[in-house]
Amino acid sequence: MSKAFTKEPEADEDFEGEIPALPAGTKNYITPGGLQRLKDEFARLQKVDRPSTVETVSWAAGNGDRSENGDYVYGKQHLREIDRRLRFLRKRIELAEVVDPAQQKDHTRVYFGATVVYRNRRNEEKTVRIVGIDEARSGHDEVSWISPVAKALLKAEEGDVVEIRTPKGVESIKVLKIVY
């Protein structure tokens, strides 16, 4: 089959609007560690993953009919995903405003970068660290500073009871400990 009959996206397509926007009126706050993770991922994609995928696609392209060549088709798709992620990371790194929690002078209140231990109404203790939108990882108990939990905790002091507004309703939690 001729390449004229295959549908492949043009390399020059306009990718504006592809990067998810930050919520209106918010800045892209990030901790120094979070920014470093974004930079490390960018470097790995650019220096390891992308060259490896380009090599695979080049090899597959030399094997003949591209329309039925899985290595070529999936390699091109993977290359587009890598390029999309690189554009996303580049934009987010450019917009990042680094806030170092170690520089926080007031350790009596919850601010960006704090680790907070709280107790919910079921008497369960939970620990969360308030971080930037692009660095929040639930598996590491990190929540974005714009999440309902973080919004409720911001500026609270140890012993304060705050309310979290969620889609399920309102829940009261008590701040037990704040660490920077």
pLDDT single digits (tens) 120-136? 989 999 999 999 999 99
Q: Can you list the pairs that 32-39 forms with residues at least 24 positions away whose Cβ atoms lie under 8 Å?
A: 32/98, 32/100, 33/135, 34/131, 34/132, 34/134, 34/135, 35/93, 35/96, 35/98, 35/135, 37/135, 38/89, 38/92, 38/93, 38/96, 38/134, 38/135, 39/93
Task: Clarify whether residues 107 and 81 are in a common domain.
Answer: no
Per the structure, the complete domain to which residue 33 belongs is given by 28-98
Does some domain include residue 5? no
Q: Per-residue pLDDT averaged across 43-48, rounded?
A: 98
Q: Considering 40, 69, 98, which residue would you say is the last residue of a domain?
A: 98
Does some domain include residue 93? yes
Over residues 144-153, the pLDDT tens digits come to 999 999 999 9
Does some domain include residue 140? yes
